[in-house]
Structure 1
């Protein structure tokens, strides 16, 4: 007796299933699939055990749009984003106590203007921006120390993104620097 080959796809977790359900709901809401088609595909997603079984249910759906707003928050401790991460159009950062380090130098920036809204109580904050970015900090209110920012080289027209930093900082200092490369 010959056994059937097993599906080499890895098993899916609840996060994968939730993401697939969310994509189906968005496609239905935006009118890309009918109610009947959503029910059928939803059944496929909810009964799928492997990634290979998810593929037909998600086939022909539009690609997921990049998030336009995101919030990072912590009561205390360190907030850090670095490496290749996708930067939303509006990024809100909230922390009562702790340190913040946002490194945008290797991040995926898909928008010409990025708004970073800081709501920081106490602690140091450091933001590293791409070499050719234009930085605006006029809308940042500080209580204790002014931001430390040395303008980079003269930006090229149409070069890098504009990073607008706003919000409020109680006790601490914001340091902004351009990436060296």
Structure 2
């Protein structure tokens, strides 16, 4: 009988559970590293069981993934909108503007995946938020972040690929760091 391969969604779920347990003080930093290594190298669902067995399976919002797409127009979210745990954006010929400064953000960590061919992305994070674009890659453009890379809430992680475009992450213009 052939063993079932581990789906990426299941791996992501396991990573989230382990990180959540660490954030709640259930795991030491050494235990976090050991378990994440095990999760990231697992090949089958059965290999995850011992890593997750003693962790609570409280994944409110774990399936909170929104996908937005456009072939030729801009994708914009601003004002009072609900930010999902994972926002996945695909665009052929259009820019992206995500303003989280007045949005309803229910998660301490937000993931934004950008898959843009021709177009740039502007991400405005709330005052006090942090962000990193360590997982983002651009072929012909640049990535600029004018916010702290850690220790803010929420923390926004930007990843993905832009063929011809830029990513800019900043706070609202009206907010001045004191």
In the TM superposition, what whole-angstrom CA distance separates every residue of 1:57-88 from its partner, at most 9, and x where no partner exists?
A: xxxxxxxx766110010111111000010000
Moved over 3 A (4+): none
In the TM superposition, what whole-angstrom CA distance separates every residue of 1:67-114 from its partner, at most 9, and x where no partner exists?
A: 611001011111100001000000001101011100011000000000
- Identify the match of residue 89 of structure 2 among 88, 93, 98: 93
Partner residue in 2 for 1:119: 115
Check conservation: 2:93, 2:118, Cα contact below 8 A.
Answer: yes
Partner residue in 2 for 1:167: 160
TM-score (norm 2): 0.59
Partner residue in 2 for 1:103: 99
Gaps of 5+ in 2: 1-59
Distance 1:115 1:72 in 2: 14
Residue 161 (structure 1) shift: 0.5
Check conservation: 2:129, 2:147, Cα contact below 8 A.
Answer: no
- Superposed, 1:1-181 pairs within 5 Å as 68-152=64-148, 159-179=152-172, 180-181=174-175
Higher-Rg structure is 1
Gaps of 5+ in 1: 1-64
Equivalent pairs, count: 114
Distance 1:68 1:112 in 2: 13
Q: 1:131 aligns to what SS in structure 2?
A: coil
Q: 1:80 aligns to what SS in structure 2?
A: strand
RMSD between superposed Cα atoms in Å = 1.9
TM-score (norm 1): 0.58
Check conservation: 2:94, 2:120, Cα contact below 8 A.
Answer: yes
Residue 151 (structure 1) shift: 2.8
Residue 160 (structure 1) shift: 1.6
